[in-house]
A and B are shown apart, each in its own frame.
Chain A
Amino acid sequence: MQAYPRWKLWLILTVLVVSAMGTLPNLTTPPSWWPSAVSQPMNLGLDLKGGIHLVIDVNVEKAVEHSVEEDVDTVRRLLRENKIRYSKLDADGSTLIVQIKNDADAAATEGLINKDMSGYTVVAEAGRFTLTITETEAKEIKKFAVDQSIEVIRNRVDALGTTEPVIVKQGERRILVQIPGYEDSARAKSLIGRTAQLEFKLVDEKGDLDKALSGKIPQGDVIVYGKAEDRGGNAVRQPYLLKKRTELSGSEVADARVSIDSRYNEYAVTLKFNNKGARKFDKLTSAHVGERFAIILEGVVQSAPVIRERISGGTAQITGSFTSQDARDLAIVLRAGALPAPVKVVEERSIGPSLGQDSIEQGMNSIIYGCIAVLIFMVVYYRLFGLVANVALIFNMLLIAAAMSMIGSTLTLPGIAGIVLTIGMAVDANVLIFERIREEIRLGKTRLAAIDGGYDKALSTIVDANITTLIAAIVLFQFGTGPVKGFAVTLSVGILASMFTAIMVTRAIVALSIKKKSKKELSI
């Protein structure tokens, strides 16, 4: 056997020291001078520390529709400013339809639309203009809707006061929300899931509600329902005939706080408008004294108070027999702003704290017992060489722990399973080598030649066998979700670490401990 190269020994020693340093923060609190850049304790996945995991789907189509509806106002203003009369102006999904009254205005209308409505393709036909939103524009709106939803959801989750929540985009239209250490899944879902769209509309006092209910809704009006109680105390839907136009919306709210409504002594939410909102509210209340305005939250009329006098302070109050929790959550969502589109929880995986704790214990137990079983087995079967393999195996575990801590990856329950599996598979390389050495000995080679032969001949097999397992692990990582990804990570890290420890480390130990001149038989 050749003298074992020095540089390899140094490499092994360096890896050992770095791994030990990397693993340390997981075992004990490092001293204050410890460079925190070296490694942090391993991140534990939600399945181990407990918490809420939600995948939210943003209804981006609705965001596009909403944007088209808003553009109806833009077109209306354009036509009015240019004194073009129209008989129809409406949004229908992702298209906007304008029917002008006078054919003579057709050219002017087309010019206006082409100039100001750049996000649309226009088809003109006998005074009827069909504007279809372009694909790039729609894509832009969708992307913006998701990005803005992330912002809004982050504000809301932050209000829960938990540490290190994760709110990230997943794919094109989904948002992953993880709130570690939080248990109240119902509250989290309702807080995140509500659009919090707040609108102020005037009640059409001259319109006939009964007629409207039978189908004859006056032009420019809309029926919106609110909650009420009948005389028996049953919940009923109370219809309101409102002006379609939204006078003020949640985007003009600067702040929202829980307050007590002094008249009924119940919880309420007091809104404070921003400057623009305050001006609008001032104008609205001064022009419509004696009329009612409706406060609509998420499509439901909360209340429709009568404007008794001009309100110039820029504040308004929402009431609706709230509990203290209701009022607090409403204030949170109004402060955080409205979601640009409706959202839906499409996946939830939440873990209670006790299950997480149990999983850590059970996972650690299976690592310990599995490890002990393999260690004993190897020593019994391969004697001294088994001991060498065992040293390599323990080094391997250290390396995995260090790598996980240093790359900042997250340990999950399936990740622990990956480590356990690695224990079994890591000794495979040594089994291959040792079996080969035994064969060489049987062929009558000298002890050193047998060791050399064993290592050399087993190498290509080990590489081939490990690469194929690595392929499976990488595929798993690509296609897997959440916890399954954790399994793929530890399995891959474990395979790579085992190649180093089982080949290089055992070789070094063997090379250093075998005395060349000894005639003793190999203990294998």
Chain B
Amino acid sequence: MQLINPDLKIDFLGKRKLALIFSGALLLLSLGLVAGKGLNFGIDFTGGTLVEVKFTQAPAIADIREALTPVGFGQAIIQEFGAPEEILIRVQNRDASDSSKISTDILDALGVGLGADNVEMRRVEFVGPQVGEELTQAGLLAVLFAMLAILVYVTFRFKLRFAIGADAALLHDITLVVGIFALTGKEFTLPVVAAILTVIGYSLNDTIVVFDRIRENLEANRKRKNPESEVDVVNGSINQTLSRTLMTSLTTLLVVLSLFFFGGEVIHDFAFALIVGIMVGTYSSIYIASPVMLSLEGRFETSDEEMEEMEAKP
């Protein structure tokens, strides 16, 4: 069975202007959403308390709110979590008093208001304000370091302009995933940052495969009597690897979908970030990494012709 006819020659790079405009628009939209609407940061970053409880039967949100009002959490964010009888409650840290005790207050209040036997503690998460700041910093640093390490590795294995192309694709992927989170208002948590780092790894994996083929074909092309233009070589390489690109995206998407549908509510958003990331990562390794790399032709390094010229001179 074959997904892609091997003789298929899609002129990916012929449409690179269009693709760049399209990507540029998406990037601007993402940035606009993040700046305008903002991200729904989870307690990992803002600090606060999250309590997940399971009731013996589906409760009314209003009853829960009423039960929480006496302890001062009538304004809590209360939402259904996966099933009607499972409820997630989120509150911010309190000033002054010891915020680590908030979860106890909430659980006690729910027990008083709705019957202690009907409420089961499923999960309590509390992040103090300082820890939230540290996690934010660690998350940003992680993404930065991953990009830097990759820049170094790809420069070492290929050339600087390939590395810049790869990092451009990564920035594109990160921005779009973050943009989708701003758009949907889904909670942006620490696992989502982990998903983004995984997307970085995945998207890069995809890009490297294309780059590897480009390098191989460029070398073969140089030995030919009437070499093709670099654009044609790159385009041919993308076509040659296309069926692999799609295959791997498909198998990975299959497992991530399995995670999304069967993995449970706790890693739902994590799986969602991966799904989006794999799709944009596949797109970017075709439409961002190679065009950016191509547009940097002749910069940062001596071109092959110049090298030959230099070698020719004594």
Contact = CB atoms under 8 A, between A and B. Distances in A.
A377 B254 contact: yes
A420 B52 CA distance: 25
B25 interface: no
A359 B264 contact: yes
Interface string B115-147: 000001111111110110001001101100110
A488 B164 CA distance: 25
Nearest to B52: A355
B251 A420 contact: no
Chain A: interface size category? 35 or more
A348 B254 contact: no
B256 interface: yes
Given A349-B124, A381-B247, A460-B212, A366 B201 contact: no
The 8 closest A-B pairs by CB, nearest first: A472-B201, A362-B264, A370-B258, A424-B252, A345-B100, A370-B255, A479-B142, A424-B255
Nearest to B104: A186
Most chain A CB within 10 A, of B128, B247, B255, B271, is at B255
Contacts of B121: 183, 185, 350, 352
A244 B230 CA distance: 86
A460 B208 CA distance: 10
| Main SS class of interface, A | helix
Interface stretch (B28-36, B66-74, B191-199, B305-313): B191-199
A421 B254 contact: no
A256 interface: no
Most chain A CB within 10 A, of B126, B216, B243, is at B126
A36 interface: no
Contact of A417 (B6, B142, B212, B267): B267
Contact of A348 (B100, B193, B240): B100
B302 interface: no
B296 interface: no
Given A185-B103, A346-B100, A354-B120, A476 B142 contact: yes
Given A472-B146, A479-B145, A185 B254 contact: no
Interface string B96-123: 0010110110011000000000001111
Contacts of A432: 209, 244
A377 B248 CA distance: 11
A479 B205 contact: no
B202 A469 contact: yes
B243 A435 contact: yes
Given A363-B264, A373-B258, A431-B248, A417 B150 contact: no
A235 to B, nearest CB: 17
Nearest to A487: B194
A154 interface: no
Contacts of A38: none
Interface in A399-425: 413-414, 416-417, 420-421, 423-425
A491 B198 contact: yes
B251 A431 contact: yes
Most chain A CB within 10 A, of B104, B130, B191, B198, is at B198
A424 B204 contact: no
Interface of A: 47, 55, 57, 183, 185-186, 189, 193, 344-352, 354-355, 358-359, 362-363, 365-367, 369-371, 373-374, 377-378, 380-383, 413-414, 416-417, 420-421, 423-425, 427-428, 431-432, 435, 438-439, 442, 457, 460-461, 464-473, 475-476, 478-481, 483-484, 487-488, 491
A483 B54 CA distance: 23
B100 A420 contact: no
B58 interface: no
Contacts of A374: 251, 254-255
B250 A468 contact: no
Nearest to B54: A354
Contacts of A185: 103-104, 121, 124
Given A469-B201, A491-B198, A365 B262 contact: yes
A354 B85 CA distance: 14
Nearest to B240: A439
A344 B131 CA distance: 12
Contacts of A378: 251
B208 A481 contact: no
Contacts of A423: 255
Given A464-B157, A479-B145, A481-B135, A414 B267 contact: yes
Given A350-B121, A374-B251, A414-B267, 20 more contacts: A57-B130, A193-B100, A348-B124, A352-B123, A354-B54, A355-B266, A358-B264, A363-B263, A366-B255, A366-B259, A367-B258, A370-B258, A377-B250, A382-B1, A414-B194, A417-B270, A461-B212, A472-B201, A475-B149, A481-B138
Contacts of A466: 205
B22 interface: no
B199 to A, nearest CB: 9
A173 to B, nearest CB: 11
Contacts of A349: 123-126
B274 interface: yes
A78 B123 CA distance: 56
B100 A189 contact: yes
Contacts of B52: 355
B263 to A, nearest CB: 4
B183 interface: no
B152 to A, nearest CB: 9
Contacts of A470: 201
B271 A417 contact: yes
B197 to A, nearest CB: 5
B253 interface: yes
B118 to A, nearest CB: 14
Contact of B126 (A347, A359, A363, A365): A347
Nearest to B148: A475
A439 B242 CA distance: 12
B263 A420 contact: yes
A271 B257 CA distance: 61
A55 B103 CA distance: 15
A468 B204 contact: yes
Given A185-B121, A348-B124, A362 B202 contact: no
B190 interface: yes
B142 A421 contact: no
Interface string B1-32: 10100100000000000000000000000000
B82 to A, nearest CB: 9
Nearest to B100: A345
B200 interface: yes
Contacts of A414: 191, 194, 267, 270
Contacts of B212: 460-461, 464-465
Given A414-B270, A432-B244, A472 B194 contact: no
Nearest to A187: B104
A186 B194 CA distance: 30
Given A421-B256, A424-B255, A479-B138, A350 B124 contact: yes
B154 interface: yes
A422 to B, nearest CB: 8
